[in-house]
């Protein structure tokens, strides 16, 4: 029987709401940093690792808009946070998380975009939530405790 990873995340992390909020904030910032630094890919573009990380799984084109210039620290934190996706072992949850990340970076209505990719709104919400829980659980299992503030 598969353990309830949401429950495991709650028991392993002292403050699960703080941990979830921390993970969500870091992932959203990572998505925005990557979007700001990636630029356009393909012919005539500088290329980037954003499409290879997320675009291939979502089918959403790179926007190429830069809204801010991230600091070196923000870039390092973005790289670290985007690597947390390794804890999401379920492909459907990872796909929903990737769509959510790309939409957060571009400030698009992610559930509507997910629906356009054949995932119902409720299923998208459930899968994205599970992906976040898997990340929280994975970080907790590795001994990482987010510091509030």
pLDDT of 14 reads 46
Residue 148 lies in a domain: no
Residue 71 banded pLDDT, cuts 50, 70, 90 = confident
- 1 within domain boundaries: no
- 3, part of any domain: no
What is the domain count for the chain?
A: 1
Burial of 86 (0-12, 13-18, 19+ CB in 10 A): exposed
Task: Classify residue 38: in a domain, yes or no.
Answer: yes
- Residue 129 in any domain: the answer is yes
Q: Which domain holds residue 17?
A: 9-141
User: Which pLDDT belongs to residue 49?
Assistant: 47
Q: Is residue 86 part of a domain?
A: yes
- Decide if 101 is inside a domain: yes
Would you list the DSSP string of 2-41?
---HHHHHHHHSSSHHHHHHHHHHHHHHHHHHHHHHH---
Band of pLDDT at residue 106, cut at 50, 70 and 90: confident
Domain assignment present for residue 105? The answer is yes
């Amino acid at each position: 029987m598969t353990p309830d990873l949401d429950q495991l995340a709650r028991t392993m992390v002292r403050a699960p709401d703080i941990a979830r909020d921390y993970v969500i904030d870091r992932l959203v910032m990572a998505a925005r940093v990557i979007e700001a630094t990636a630029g356009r890919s393909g012919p005539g573009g500088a290329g980037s690792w954003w499409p290879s990380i997320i675009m291939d799984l979502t089918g959403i084109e790179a926007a190429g808009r830069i809204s801010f210039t991230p600091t070196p620290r923000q870039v390092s934190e973005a790289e670290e946070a985007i690597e947390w996706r390794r804890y999401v072992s379920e492909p459907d949850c990872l796909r929903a998380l990737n769509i959510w990340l790309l939409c957060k970076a571009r400030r698009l209505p992610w559930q509507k975009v997910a629906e356009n990719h054949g995932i119902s709104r409720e299923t998208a919400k459930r899968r994205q939530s599970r992906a976040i829980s898997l990340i929280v659980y994975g970080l907790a299992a590795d001994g990482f405790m987010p510091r509030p503030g």
